[in-house]
Structure 1
Amino acid sequence: MVSTNNNVTKYALIAAFGGFVFGLDAANLSGAVRYISSYFELTSSQVGFVAGITLWGVIFALFFTGMLCEWFGRKKVLIAIAIGYALSSLLSATAVSYEMLAFGRFIGGLAFASITVSAMYVGEITPPSQRGKFVSVNQFMIALGLLLAFIINYFLLRGLSVNEYLNGENVWRFMLGSELVANVIWLSLLFLVPESPRWLLKKGREEEARQAFAKLVPADQIESTVVAVRESLSKDNEANSMREIWGQLKTLFSGRMRLVLAIAVVYAITQGATGMNAVLFFAPMIFEQVGMSVEDTFMQTVSMGVFGLVATVIAIFSIERLGRRFLTLAGLALVIIAHTSTWYSFSNATYDISPKTITEVSEILIDERVDVSKLNKLAGTSFENDVALKAALANEFNKSELPLVTGPVINASINGVIAPLALFGIFLFLAAFNLSIGPIMWVIFSEIFPNKIRSVAMPVAALVQTISSILVTQPLPWLLDVIGTASVFMVYALVGVVGFVVMFFILPETKGKSIEMIEKDLVRT
């Protein structure tokens, strides 16, 4: 018994290590983005595209992930994904053009499918009483990856002033390339895990499935588990057609799956559109709006990473006790409060360019590529919001200077923002997300879809989540320039309100139930 439990833990952690790599990748970009923008002289739309193209890669991958998982199994797909992450790191870190960087990020987006496949795999190898905890480990690994990346970025930034080999033109290469070590480690570990026994049974490879189950459940439960899974896979006359991808899709969108699909779609949209990916990708940029120095923004991202990791650990140990429904609804209520707080803190901010402001910017900004004297043209000018300030800066500074000078100017000129309330909102959102909709969405996805369509259904649900994330992440730099920080967070709050109301009425409790039991409860016969 102890041996099989240890095996489940080991295999779940290895599969979820893809989440760690994902976290590294997302947070490394957040640190590198200002330097990338300056190096390639990008517009705000291009900056958004560099972040958003990874999500377009996810969409492309999700069209094939289900088929590949169905044809080759979960393990082989995870191995291919690990190779994709490594290739993405190499291309991104050595990019010599904006196009090459975007292509490298796109490859990384293809590998982001690891989150879906890992959740699928972990959901299929863990017992019902522990499934929520183990699938939530995926979010823990993401949070751990984020934290490590934030720490790496912070020390690389500190190294700009003391290391002769680091400068504003190459530091981003070290940030994006630092995850390559984790890529190689994950790829090596994946060869140690068994294939999903449920997939093996679905393919008629019963002896191999029994051997896999022998590593996962006590010997006296192997036969009963095999029987239960076999009955689920052959429940109705559609069993044969379920082996075909289009047959699975047809069943997923049939009337009998209406409630299951509604739960998945609403959860996916809510999780993606409440703004987590945007906050992750552009965390330093957002902290700048509070009035922090560049170094302070990087230090705050480290604090943010620690906070997120602690919240995820709490979620892992609470999900089986408090349940999926309670944590989801409570988390969304906190998300609404968090975004409303951040919106209010920025709503009355103003910006004054005085001689003191210009002096402070000169002291903060030591990069020789920026001609701070250009600020003299704006001396004595006040701006009612950050949109007007950024527009004025864009008229004075070129595309190489603007990403480097904007943060220090905001830091030195901001007035009226309630910084503690803004930080409270951002950190509360981070805690709420990692306590609830972050990890629990993948638990729900791994539970509500029947065995015979899960390999297609989970990528479809993830596709909805990714599209939702793209609509939030890619336009963020442009939206910060056009409608301002306060309005952006109000939009996120409204998304949380709609998600809370809908899920209050349709989200069931699934804790402690086997995948087969949940299917009987949710799927119309």
Structure 2
Amino acid sequence: MAAPASKSRVTRRVYALGSLAAILFGYDNGIISAAILFIPHELPLTPLLKGAVVSSTVVGAMVGALVSGPAADRFGRQRALLAAGVVFAIGALGAGVAPTVAVLVLFRFVIGLGIGIASVVVPLYLAEMAPAGERGSVTSLNQYMIIVGTALAAATGYGLAFVASWRWMILIGAFPAVVLVLGLLAAPDTPRSLVRRGHPEQGRALLAGLRGNPAAADRELAEITELERQQRDARLGARMSAPWVRRLLLLGAMLAVFQQITGINTIVYYAPGVLTTFGVSEVTALLFTFLNGLLNILTIAVVVRAGVVDRWGRKPVLLAGLVGMSASLFAVGAAALVLPAESPVLFGIAVAAFVVFTNTFSATWGPVLWVVLAEIFPLAIRGAAMAVATLFNWLTDFFVSLTFPTFTALVGAGVVFIAYAAAGVIVFPIVWWCVPETKQRSLESLERAFRKGTRFRPEG
């Protein structure tokens, strides 16, 4: 491998490619909230088919998440992200020109495969590239760029709403996917993945470029190599079945489920539709989504810039997020139960609650879940374990996205939002008791602590 470029050049390239994959995740996941308002103008949709168009992406994400973790462990993080870029491009092109609902559902499933791969591999890629003291902020770039992608989807949806062009809403996602593929063809894998796959010298050269310090690179490489040596002879099944690993898998799966049962994707997928039931036009609802997306970008930019996740710690941020999200959903749920459906007051409360909820999520559970998942699993099974946790995240997302219209029709949006608020209240003590604080620790020191069953405090 050639001598590494300067630290800033290597770091910018690595973070930019991981960020672009996350932008595609956000765009392709978020654009359906606008497109679904106009698809029925051309392709007839029953309520069941409407749910299928939305949730088919989630099903694809489940499959993509499940296969991408082991693939990333075996073939490397860079190749897994390259596969995601190819899949994103194929899915966007196919869905954008779909002649029937069945074809649309099929290619939305394909898009979901790319989203699932990105949801597992981008946090891994960023976490394994970042130094310990910056890992929370760097890995938070994943959620920041997902929010950027979601905001771009909202802007595109609003702009194209005036011509009701749902096809171009979807097709636009193919262009950044091609850029991602071209960029990844020359991108490096992570140092830990290189060492694990038998390329220690390439790993050292990359670490020297990322850290800008050969001595620090040698120390980090020694830690990685020693852990890999200890685990080399263990089979994957044996690694996954170790009691301490099972506890971490359970914790990761629980956190992944908790992120979804707090109700985020009821807002991502259905906020424009909910707002139209409160007496506003489709264009007005999409304008709110667009403006809220811009505010989301500002919120998480402040969080990343201030290093909140690394300074405050993972657990305090998660607990604060539960308070803000539950309070905002309870407010809109209670208002929907006592106010007339087309009341301007109800619309105002709903807008304020959705703004508080989505911005709280963007600052807390959005980024911090993926930071924690990328930190707690041992190197030997990190990709596979991330895939398991992410699968639970997408399974819960599928349940939420498929059932929200039905539950809303049966009991009303007010009851549904209050139920999600109650879920946040239930989750609070579980997070308080079960989630370890991982800030300012190297991935290798975390692994040693978890293996020993140590309840530790962060270093620094």
TM over 0.5: yes
CA distance in 1 between counterparts of 2:418 and 2:191 reads 46
Once the two structures are superposed, residues 131-154 of structure 1 have per-residue CA deviations (whole angstroms, 9 ceiling, x without a partner) of: 111110011111111111111111
Asked if structure 1 preserves the Cα contact closer than 8 Å seen for 2:53 and 2:105, the reply is yes
1:223 to 218, 222, 244: 218
Which amino acid is the alignment partner of residue 317 of structure 2? L
Aligned pairs for 1:10-409 within 5 A:
10-112=13-115, 113-158=117-162, 160=163, 168=164, 171-217=165-211, 218-235=213-230, 238-241=231-234, 247-316=235-304, 317=306, 318-350=308-340
Matched, 1:419 2:347: yes
Name the structure 2 match of 1:387.
none
Q: Is the 8 A contact 1:16 1:119 kept in 2?
A: no
* Seq. identity, %: 26
Q: Paired residue for 1:468?
A: 396
- The answer to whether the 8 A contact 2:18-2:122 is kept is yes
Shift of 1:67: 2.3
C-alpha distance in structure 2 between counterparts of 1:4 and 1:150, whole Å = 35
Q: Separation in 1 of the partners of 2:133 and 2:13?
A: 17
Moved more, 58-67 or 438-447: 58-67
Q: CA deviation at 1:6?
A: 4.5
CA distance in 1, matches of 2:5, 2:298: 27
1:415 deviation in Å?
Answer: 3.7
Note closer, same or farther for the CA distance 1:349–1:253 as it changes in structure 2 (3 Å cut). Answer: farther
CA distance in 2, matches of 1:195, 1:2: 15
- Name the CA shift for 1:249/1:144 in 2 (closer, same or farther; >3 Å): farther
Q: Which residue of 1 aligns with 2:457?
A: none
Q: Is the radius of gyration larger for structure 1 or structure 2?
A: 1
- How far 1:261 moved relative to its partner? 2.3
Question: How far, CA to CA, are the matches of 1:416 and 1:119 in structure 2?
Answer: 41
Q: What code does the residue aligned with 2:137 have?
A: K
Q: For 1:128 and 1:196, locate their aligned partners in 2 and report how far apart those are by CA, in whole Å.
A: 14
Q: Return the letter of the residue paired with 2:327.
A: I
Among residues 410, 417, 422, which one is paired with 1:482 in the alignment?
410
Deviation at 1:5, TM superposition (A): 4.4
Instruction: State the Cα distance separating 1:19 from its structure 2 match.
Output: 1.0
**Structure 1 CA distance for aligned equivalents of residues 92 and 24 of structure 2:** 10
Q: Using the TM superposition, give the Cα deviation of residue 440 of structure 1 relative to its aligned residue in structure 2, in angstroms.
A: 0.5
The amino acid that maps onto 1:134 is: V
Structure 1 distance, partners of 2:198, 2:79, is 18
Quick one: structure 1 residues 253 and 465, their matched pair in 2 at CA, closer, same or farther if it must change by over 3 Å? farther
Gaps of 5+ in 2: 454-460
Aligned residue pairs total 446
CA distance in 1, matches of 2:53, 2:418: 24
Equivalent residue, structure 2, for 1:459: 387
Secondary structure of residue in 2 paired with 1:499: helix
Partner Cα distance (1:510, 1:28) in 2: 34
Cα distance, 1:350 vs structure 2:
3.4
Q: TM-score, normalised by structure 1?
A: 0.82
User: Counterparts of 1:326 and 1:21 in 2: how far apart (Å)?
Assistant: 29
User: Is the CA contact (8 Å cut-off) linking 2:228 and 2:380 kept in structure 1?
Assistant: yes
- TM-score relative to the length of structure 2: 0.93
Displacement of 1:503: 0.4
Task: State the distance in 2 between where 1:115 and 1:62 align.
Answer: 7
Q: Report the Cα offset of residue 349 of structure 1.
A: 3.4
Give the gaps of 5 or more residues in structure 1: 161-167, 242-246, 352-413
Contact 1:346–1:417 under 8 Å retained in 2? no
Cα offset for 1:109? 0.7
SS in structure 2 at match of 1:129: helix
| Deviation for aligned residue 1:10 | 2.9
**Corresponding position: 1:508 with 2:436:** yes
